[in-house]
Structure 1
């Protein structure tokens, strides 16, 4: 999107998947949808990039479902529009439309409110080329069945009608599946399962009125997933349909529903009775037909709750007749961190586990769901850590892990660029620190950049609130602050420096001599996830003895990290274990948990603040980089200091606070390396909490942003007084993040101010200096501000923006990059091109 000579494009979105069953859906269009906090995120498995996030939900997104889903890919070859349903924790369901021709999304409608509580499952089937039936259920126990008619033309509207709404028992349903029954009588069967351990079957016509048909008993714990196959043909006739169910009892059951008329003499067949002969169940009556239900098979193999089961999508046999073949193949995903593919053996017909992917893991919770790609050659799991895991069949049932997008699964609290602008570092309440970078090998294959998570330097035992990257020369270092009273300093190990060489788009900023000085290859996790211990280069060649000689280690069940130099973007298991950085120092001094951090531009001083209710606790500490000694305790505020920033010449430290005041400290350095400081001013800047501040890169003006929905521009004059220059027009939402960039040297004082809001939206404002008309010596310059661009909501955050950061511009560079992070669990990078 562009405006007034400034163009903004999405470069990268990093986000984790909500840790909820039924959250992920793989559509016939080849794209995957998932909930990321209140947003619906769309990702492309081919590029492993998140394409967009759809704004509209006011609560956490619980489930998504494509129309048509991968099951109906064989019917969707000519579709230009694909549709997506998403349901949230407030009971709202939204219908979205994707135009395949231009990749544009639109919010079609909100389904009339029919659920009082969180939606737990949505499932739909194509009953014709233009007609879909779908069912939704929520934790209030209600089930609704809907008919949706797609428009015949591009300009047409979708028609939605509710066919039926009913409640099943007293316990809520969490799994649904719909199917058309074989026999051409237009009967629809709806299966649901939940907290009462039974599968409830309802039958109805296309016009609605669903009646309870029967119950299937056998599972001994909650039912978590149900999926109907399409009719499976025997001897050219399709007269039976299968239902697969999975449960927290660790078992999977396959139920066969066979048309009664095809079963001579009730059930006696002339075929020999084998192990797969039926254990007869109830008869399902649907209109004029009846179906004998029997338990076809019980699959035991998982060691924990089985959260999802899904039939492999049908394979197209002939395009003309629209005929298809339903493979007898089922994918299951379990909390034991494995996915399995089950198929009947050719000769005996007994269902066997033919493929297992993942790892039986004792130290991490497993998978919340698994999904087939539309053509059945890939399988995708989403896990407890908000992570995706994708395997592709590269031939002869050889399933290999593939690249996937990754990101935080809790609010992202801070983001920072490294000093060369080669990567961004983000921290989150999911207790991790992550590094994202563009990967150069892929950049040559296509336009633009593909970004990936390339390291997870810190995996912690506390929620992380803030981070700052040390700007001085030498090795990469950062300081992070979490919900604890200590700051922690980390230094890049050799494995990361070499990985960055492989990834980096520019020639590495590290000469080999820096690398040769680094004696630490990587780091190991500690038992409580607090301090990360270094692994030394020479120690790798020795065989470590870790079995009980030194006492403590015998208690640790955490496997040793294997620091790896990556030659292509890593997958989740590598990231979470093998890319840690060692912790080099701890900064003790604060009385409460650390809340904000910043480093000066020379890389000599780090300032830190903590949560505070009193002036004594609200003091700001200054630390000397290298020795990490405390060299100052700055007092001015009475409540938490929310953000701090050094001026670009490092002469001033600006701090803003919950106490509605901002303060400016003068920082003086003597030739001998001594630091002295003095309070220049303390002023009430706003009527509510001041959340954010940012200095003009070319002078002593600065901006402050507040909960009172205003942004004010100030100037330090004669290095002694502060004057307000301007108040921007009031915004629609609290201002939570600011970052000021310069627009180049030729218009020295022109700047671009990025403003992030609680609503998730980001605006760019130009700030230009104008001198007083008459050339009077004492005329102070004033500032003119103009809105340049409102960034498209489809590439913005959907919840509060927590931090904005511009990448340092290189010489003569037209393109600028803006990184942002927010409460919607997302990290984003935008390209901003200024004419």
Structure 2
């Protein structure tokens, strides 16, 4: 899991929180039971059983547009003996990367990057397993090209994959955005490729497994962009495979099922197609598809109308075993569709008439913004997964005879995560992001997890805002949890935990009583409501809850004209997406006015008495640092030193000094003096040019007045406050390979002369450095260079150590980055 270069430390990843890129074709559910999705330019892998993200794969340089498993859930019946599963990921630069996962140990290997054949972003990748060791896949791009590939997989683990480009062509001036690939019935080695896109037509191409594809025919009927295509497996009648179905969905809100029925072979001279008895379910004949010596009559089997908005995905239910033993499988006639109308539907033909009907609808009452981008079946067909506009997942499981119930899923930000902070108690991590949400992650402990280890989940979304967030700090004083957030507005906002969150937190940490330092049992605010413009969140008081329930009805169903009242809830298990988005808001208690530009940095002192803030600045007047008194929230100081944006602020652990670093390449140290009457005085101790480029980050030694600064010049420097007005440089760490964007200092043994410095870089990598210093000797050695699979894949925005408890052998390190991820690591010392 980690590489230690000077020994003594082991790093284990505890948690990853990440949202899904908001793009169609981004998610794939593999035959191995794992789900892949793009999170910025990483591919995240999550396990539906544990609702945890297992790892992120750092191969792609641009944002990941689409992922596809080989074999996918459709070919789970062919994957029983497979030890290695493969994953394709296409990105916005036109690159496709192939990964190999070993089922036995769960390890990943980057196999190869497909030769760059697309000039623009890859929009769809779709593949089939032809045999245990051979796969074919097609890719399409917004440059209008379609490529067909043959992939020969190795028999043994770690072997080489053979890749061959079978064909590359363009359909027309309008790009294709949906692909489906299938083997035609008849065991004739013929492949059919269906594609659809911006010209509203479905184009069918045919060919052998090793040759070029030939244009066969077009299917017309949709009146808007084709968004999704999927072939069924060949349907058997009387023991012979004679037909195959294609389902298509479009922005015209409709779904069409096309039947491709095998006619007799052309080679016998009798190409006569015997019409079946005309029925309601098959009444419109289409073109004839010729594939080698065979021809197929295409007819429109059914037109499914039910969704009220664009239908982004359709997918056939994967094949199921027809008996407990044996290798015979059948594919149920069941289609899953997902739409921007916030609903997923399952369609099946009626047993008597054969007319396709909507038999299951889920998700239509959710509050997720703008609906679903895609829907997917689990390999056994007992669960369905949707991913939505808010980067969120929604999972339903068929628990009993079409009783589909929501299940837990991983969650996270869907834009760059800009700041994180640990709660004073260390029970949770708070993060803010450019996706305009604030989220709280915590380990949810159960009696069983005390033996197996804790699993982390998002337990609250305190603030859903109308501006992108830049920074956050948690107020460190006793009492109820409070935080201050800063966004792309000139106002900082203060929030206080409602009673519903405090009780939920008690449930998550298995605290049976409410006697904790951070809990006040007489809290009268139960939760908060969202305002119409998404800015201020109004409190919901305990006595008002009964009125809200009566007015809203039991389910709190909303209409288009009004924003429904939230129903603050005390959760006894981790909440799901719809609950998080609506019912876990915190009320806003204060606004802090004063800055001239958008808030950029915040910090709170360790006694919980002062909050410091800064904003974006291009002049000395605007670059001032404001001090706010916790409680009254009055401005008690305006500190002048820098001439450009202050990028980070931090109080020393004894709260006597405030350190600031800036884009102007300088750092400043202010002395903060508190009088017995509660008055605050301050003076500038020193201002120095610390680096040759922007200083992004700083951190104090928890046991003294030494501090570290990290800069775009790829260096980290250690400084010490000496005397009344002097700061001296102690050392410079060896130059890093990338710009240093985050540093955080912890004292593993609570001794003044040692430290462990976490360094995060623009490349996403994180290193831990041992620091030791005395009057005569200074030393720094690399303790751990974390494995790239553990780290971020884009710039690390912030690192934060949890305050170490006396009885703990290990330490927790939280990080956040531009790759949309929040990560928590456990660092143990020998």
Q: Tell me the TM-score range normalised by the shorter chain.
A: over 0.9
Residue in structure 2 matched with residue 819 of structure 1 by the alignment: 814
Confirm or deny: 8 A CA contact 1:500 1:508 kept in the other structure: no
User: 1:144 and 2:144 equivalent?
Assistant: no
Three-state SS of the structure 2 residue aligned to 1:356 is strand
Residue in structure 2 matched with residue 750 of structure 1 by the alignment: 754
Taking a change above 3 Å as real, the CA distance of residues 624 and 512 of structure 1, as seen in their structure-2 partners, is closer
Structure 2 unpaired stretches of 5+: 553-557
Residue in structure 2 matched with residue 518 of structure 1 by the alignment: 523
Name whichever of 796-805 and 440-449 sits farther off: 440-449
Of 373, 378, 381, the residue aligned with 1:376 is 381
Confirm or deny: 8 A CA contact 2:368 2:581 kept in the other structure: no
1:153 Cα deviation from its structure 2 partner: 1.6
Residue in structure 2 matched with residue 603 of structure 1 by the alignment: 608
Taking a change above 3 Å as real, the CA distance of residues 673 and 566 of structure 1, as seen in their structure-2 partners, is same
Three-state SS of the structure 1 residue aligned to 2:212 is strand
Of 148, 158, 173, the residue aligned with 2:161 is 158
Confirm or deny: 8 A CA contact 2:233 2:244 kept in the other structure: yes
1:359 Cα deviation from its structure 2 partner: 1.3
Confirm or deny: 8 A CA contact 2:504 2:572 kept in the other structure: yes
User: How do 1:580-591 and structure 2 match up within 5 A?
Assistant: 580-591=585-596
1:546 Cα deviation from its structure 2 partner: 7.3
Residue in structure 2 matched with residue 203 of structure 1 by the alignment: 206
User: How do 1:537-552 and structure 2 match up within 5 A?
Assistant: 537-542=542-547
User: 1:390 and 2:395 equivalent?
Assistant: yes
User: How do 1:1-80 and structure 2 match up within 5 A?
Assistant: 1-2=1-2, 3=4, 4-80=7-83
Of 487, 490, 512, the residue aligned with 2:492 is 487
Deviations 1:712-751, CA, capped at 9 Å, x for gaps: 0000012421000000011111100010000113x43211
Of 785, 803, 808, the residue aligned with 2:803 is 808
Q: Distance in 2 between matches of 1:614 and 1:299?
A: 61
Taking a change above 3 Å as real, the CA distance of residues 202 and 644 of structure 1, as seen in their structure-2 partners, is same
Taking a change above 3 Å as real, the CA distance of residues 710 and 242 of structure 1, as seen in their structure-2 partners, is same
Q: Distance in 1 between matches of 2:827 and 2:530?
A: 39
| TM-score with structure 2 setting the length | 0.96
Q: Distance in 2 between matches of 1:544 and 1:749?
A: 58
Deviations 1:174-217, CA, capped at 9 Å, x for gaps: 00000000011100000000000000000010102101000000
Residue in structure 2 matched with residue 570 of structure 1 by the alignment: 575
Q: Distance in 2 between matches of 1:512 and 1:653?
A: 27
Residue in structure 1 matched with residue 763 of structure 2 by the alignment: 759
| TM-score with structure 1 setting the length | 0.96
Taking a change above 3 Å as real, the CA distance of residues 513 and 784 of structure 1, as seen in their structure-2 partners, is closer
Name whichever of 437-446 and 720-729 sits farther off: 437-446
Residue in structure 1 matched with residue 826 of structure 2 by the alignment: 831
Taking a change above 3 Å as real, the CA distance of residues 318 and 151 of structure 1, as seen in their structure-2 partners, is farther
1:616 Cα deviation from its structure 2 partner: 0.2
Q: Distance in 1 between matches of 2:457 and 2:483?
A: 20
Three-state SS of the structure 1 residue aligned to 2:637 is strand
Residue in structure 2 matched with residue 428 of structure 1 by the alignment: 433
Of 694, 708, 724, the residue aligned with 1:689 is 694
Residue in structure 1 matched with residue 661 of structure 2 by the alignment: 656
Three-state SS of the structure 2 residue aligned to 1:516 is coil
Name whichever of 232-241 and 485-494 sits farther off: 232-241
User: 1:222 and 2:225 equivalent?
Assistant: yes
User: How do 1:241-640 and structure 2 match up within 5 A?
Assistant: 241-261=244-264, 266-269=272-275, 272-317=277-322, 322-359=327-364, 364-441=369-446, 444=449, 447-504=452-509, 510-511=515-516, 514-542=519-547, 557-640=562-645
Confirm or deny: 8 A CA contact 1:247 1:306 kept in the other structure: yes
Taking a change above 3 Å as real, the CA distance of residues 268 and 187 of structure 1, as seen in their structure-2 partners, is closer
Structure 1 unpaired stretches of 5+: 548-552, 773-781
Of 662, 672, 675, the residue aligned with 1:670 is 675
Q: Distance in 2 between matches of 1:442 and 1:126?
A: 43
Residue in structure 1 matched with residue 784 of structure 2 by the alignment: 789
Taking a change above 3 Å as real, the CA distance of residues 508 and 375 of structure 1, as seen in their structure-2 partners, is same
Taking a change above 3 Å as real, the CA distance of residues 555 and 665 of structure 1, as seen in their structure-2 partners, is farther
Q: Distance in 2 between matches of 1:569 and 1:216?
A: 47
- How much is the aligned-residue C-alpha RMSD, in angstroms? 1.8
Confirm or deny: 8 A CA contact 2:489 2:597 kept in the other structure: yes
Q: Distance in 2 between matches of 1:67 and 1:400?
A: 29
Q: Distance in 2 between matches of 1:219 and 1:823?
A: 39
Name whichever of 87-96 and 438-447 sits farther off: 438-447
